[in-house]
């Protein structure tokens, strides 16, 4: 973005031997021993280059506001001397499609709350499980709050289903009958984590496998099976749904 904002150029250096460009959570090389250098660098970029858009970053990652960045006077002077364009210009003229795929403000969920199986009258409970772990149906907390659990789920803008406040998603990696549903880190790329709620039949459809969410009420198990719109164990209800968003997003994919 600095190249675009400041009328620069990116040069290919054939003799260069190594370079590090990373965004992942786990850094594949040792910490250089200067404290939280990633937060420091994020905030330096935000303060020098992002103008009012820095607020979107801070709302997502509030702790960045307090990162110690030292003096930024030299960096800001460089930007002024080069007569660089604003970050607003960059977002509207260069990264104009950014908000479509990575919105600054997270869009409203398509559906949320308890995910209740209509036949069993039980709810999906992810039970605070971790990656690769299975989960199932339990008595709905709204019916009996004694035992507790993790039953507030979200059908998100990214077309995945995740427990509220966490970045673990329902994930299906096979297309066999009674395919298991596990939790896996959300990646926002659909695929194994892509679900559609079909309002007319109340089914949860998994496009990549062409299966629908099903259950065994006696065992408290959930899994994927061939879709059958007449099968009551494949019918689900959410506490809250936005029908307009559901229909719009179902057309996108």
Domains, the chain: 2-101 (1.10.8.460), 111-252 (2.80.10.50)
pTM of the full structure: 0.75
pLDDT at residue 60 in the model: 85
For residue 20, is pLDDT > 80? Answer: no
pLDDT at residue 166 in the model: 95
pLDDT at residue 17 in the model: 67
Q: Considering the chain, what is the average pLDDT of its residues?
A: 91
Confidence band of 219 (pLDDT split at 50, 70, 90): very high
Task: Please compute the mean of the pLDDT values over residues 23-28 and round it to a whole number.
Answer: 57
pLDDT at residue 131 in the model: 95
For residue 63, is pLDDT > 80? Answer: yes
pLDDT at residue 102 in the model: 83
- Percent of the chain whose pLDDT exceeds 90: 78
Rg (CA), the chain: 23
Task: Please compute the mean of the pLDDT values over residues 160-174 and round it to a whole number.
Answer: 97
Q: Which residues, in sequence order, are CB contacts of 67 under 8 Å at separation 6+? A: 36, 39, 40, 42, 43
């Amino acid at each position: 973005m600095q190249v675009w904002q400041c009328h620069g150029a990116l040069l290919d250096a054939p003799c260069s031997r190594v370079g590090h460009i990373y965004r992942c959570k786990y850094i594949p090389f040792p910490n250089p021993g200067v404290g939280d250098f990633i937060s420091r660098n994020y905030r330096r970029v935000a303060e020098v280059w992002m103008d009012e858009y820095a607020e979107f970053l801070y709302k997502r990652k509030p702790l960045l506001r307090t990162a110690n960045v030292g003096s930024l006077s030299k960096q800001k002077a460089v930007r002024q001397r080069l007569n660089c364009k604003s970050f607003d210009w960059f977002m509207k003229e260069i990264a104009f499609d950014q908000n479509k795929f990575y919105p600054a403000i997270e869009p409203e969920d398509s559906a949320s709350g308890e995910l209740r199986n209509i036949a069993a009258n039980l709810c999906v409970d992810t039970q605070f499980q971790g990656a690769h772990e299975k989960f199932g149906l339990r008595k709905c907390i709204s019916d009996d709050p004694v035992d507790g659990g993790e039953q507030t789920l979200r059908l998100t803008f990214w077309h995945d289903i995740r427990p509220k406040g966490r970045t673990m998603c329902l994930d299906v990696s096979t297309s066999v009958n009674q395919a298991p549903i596990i939790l896996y880190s959300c990646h926002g790329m659909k695929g194994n984590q892509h679900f559609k709620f079909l309002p007319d039949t109340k089914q949860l459809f998994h496009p990549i496998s062409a299966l629908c969410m099903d259950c065994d009420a006696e065992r408290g198990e959930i899994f994927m099976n061939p879709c059958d719109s007449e099968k009551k164990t494949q019918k689900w209800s959410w506490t809250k749904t936005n029908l307009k968003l559901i229909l719009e997003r179902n057309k996108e994919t």
